[in-house]
Amino acid sequence: MALFARNRPRGVIVHTDRGSQYCSREHRALLEQYALIASMSARGNCYDNAAMESWNHSLKVEAIHGEHLATREQAKAHVFDYIEVDYNR
């Protein structure tokens, strides 16, 4: 969603943990399709991804927890508003 809102910039870094879903062919192909750069936390270093974990916590606690979103479109709009209006101000 952010890629399309920002005219699909090149060289965007996608930070993830070492989950198997992020190593899949499908995920890697999607990253390649949009010229995104994969960044995984290092094995055995729990602090390597601390900034992203903090961001995920903020999103969940400040934007999502307690909300009753009936559709995927409502959820997308709600998260977009949180990021663009509240978080990035």
Rounded Cα distance between 85 and 89, Å, is: 6
Among 20, 55, 22, residue whose Cα is nearest residue 36: 22
Same domain, 40 and 68: no
Domain assignment of residue 59, given as a range: 49-89
Same domain, 24 and 1: yes
Q: Is the pTM of this model over 0.75?
A: no
Convert the pLDDT of each residue in 29-62 to its tens digit: 988 888 888 887 777 776 777 887 888 888 888 8
Number of domains in the chain: 2
Same domain, 58 and 40: no
Same domain, 19 and 55: no
- Whether residue 20 is predicted with pLDDT greater than 70 in this model: the reply is yes
Same domain, 42 and 4: yes
Kindly state the helix (H) or strand (E) to which residue 21 belongs, with its residue range.
none
Same domain, 78 and 89: yes
